[in-house]
Amino acid sequence: MSIAVVILAAGKGTRMVSDLPKALHKVAHAPLLTHAMRASACLEPEKTVIVVGHEAEQVAAAAREIDETALIAEQKDQLGTGHAVSMAKEALSGFDGDILVLYADTPFISEETMQAIKLARNTSDLVVLGFKAKDPARYGRLITNGDSLERIVEFKDANDEERAITLCNSGVMAGPAPLLFSLLEEIDNKNATGEFYLTDCVAHARSAGKTTRVVICDEKETLGVNSRLDLANAEAAFQDRARKEHMENGVSLLAPETVYFSFDTVIGRDSVVEQHVVFGPEATIETGAHIKSFCHIEGAHVSEGAVIGPFARLRPGAELGEQARVGNFVEIKNAVIGDGAKINHLSYVGDAEVGAGANIGAGSVTCNYDGVMKHKTTIGEGAFIGSNTMMVAPVTIGKDAMTGSGSVITKDVPDGALALARAEQNNKPGMARKLMDILKKRKQKRDLG
């Protein structure tokens, strides 16, 4: 059976106290909407419809950045979840497969749970995702009879007996598109909030002789984000899950609670990540790499066996070859570092290509920016860059070439050549003592006023 995913992302998120639409607030460097769309991709949906409302154009643009084929439906008036889903009818015109309704602000529904919902549809007309809450609070309650779901009661409309039930509604629902849209036409807004509830479809389905049932998931999967506190809790939940998944996949985290991942971080087995490491978006670490403490890695690719840090920063476009070494207080940006190359101390390498086996000494800088444009530095295989060398791009330093410490290199250096580009040292006998005496007398005179 083909499936379409409808993700509700129309909410303003008043409790976020923000100008940004709720669906675009980020967890692990990605909007909540991104998490929901990535999660549903496991079902290989034939269509994905994003229902937008508040700041509709902004949310729609974000959705299409994730999936350019995503369909957009607008809910101009916020009249409840049932009304929101009905807005997707036009986008799904002619579609007769299943619909799975998800929420941008409930981004952690697992692949296993979605597959369980899909499987449950084989034996039931409507499937609702529920969870057993430690503190049911204001969640809607699921009223069941054995495996059958009889109805859903919103908290505001529930009596004391119904509020005592701990099986709660996540809001996620699946069913055939023709049935679901037919049921949505029957519901009304005669309730405490005056809204059209998607949940009312269950009672109408049962009245029509349809079967309804519940699939139960872990409460953590249904974590909703409605406030800044919820957002922080969602970040913590994501990081906890990501840490466990990486360790289960063969990555050693020496202090897991101090390592922070992006939504798309990839790390190969037998890699070691030390304390206080932060991965930004688009970071890929291959097998056997070693990331030492206090590193920040974003938009970078680290090859097998490379060693990074401590206190190193890899920025977007950094490509490190096998067994490369990038040490403390080194920053790499938009640069290819060849196999076995070493940049061990206090250096900046940007818009550059460093050949295999090259060594860049402490304090060296590729001077890549002239105030208007960026320029490239090329360093050949086996080259040795002396400490505190300034390489003024565009410039090429050849294979097996060397630069003297403290040089300012403004011209290309041929293969195998030694480049010295610094002023001649001139010693002035006794001048240091004379100068110091002069300075001390000036200071004394100033202090006496």
Question: Residues of the chain with pLDDT > 70: what percent?
Answer: 100
3-state SS of 305-336 is CCEECCCCEECCCCEECCCCEEEECCEEEEEE
CB 351 within 8 A of CB 336: no
Task: Dump the DSSP string for 160-185.
Answer: HHHHT--EEEEEEEEEEHHHHHHHHT
Q: Which pLDDT value is given to residue 191?
A: 81
Identify which has the larger pLDDT, 449 or 342.
342
Task: Dump the DSSP string for 229-243.
Answer: HHHHHHHHHHHHHHH
CB 91 within 8 A of CB 73: yes
DSSP letter for 379, please: E
Q: Examine the residue annotation and report whether 375 is marked as an active-site residue of this protein.
A: no
Mean pLDDT of 71-87: 95
Domain boundaries, the chain: 3-222, 228-419
Angstrom distance (rounded) from CA 359 to CA 24: 44
CATH number attached to the domain at 228-419: 2.160.10.10
Q: Which residue has the tokens 């979605």?
A: 114
Torsion on CA atoms 64, 68, 69, 74, rounded to nearest 10: 20
Angstrom distance (rounded) from CA 329 to CA 251: 24
Catalytic choice (29, 35, 204, 345) = 345
User: Measuring CA to CA, how many Å separate 431 from each of 13, 133, 206, 436, 437?
Assistant: 71, 80, 100, 8, 10
Kindly report, residue by residue over 238-297, the tens digit of the pLDDT. Answer: 999 999 999 999 999 999 999 999 999 999 999 999 999 999 999 999 999 999 999 999
Secondary structure class of 447 (helix, strand, coil):
helix
CATH number attached to the domain at 3-222: 3.90.550.10
Q: Which pLDDT value is given to residue 50?
A: 98
CB 174 within 8 A of CB 180: no
CB 219 within 8 A of CB 132: yes
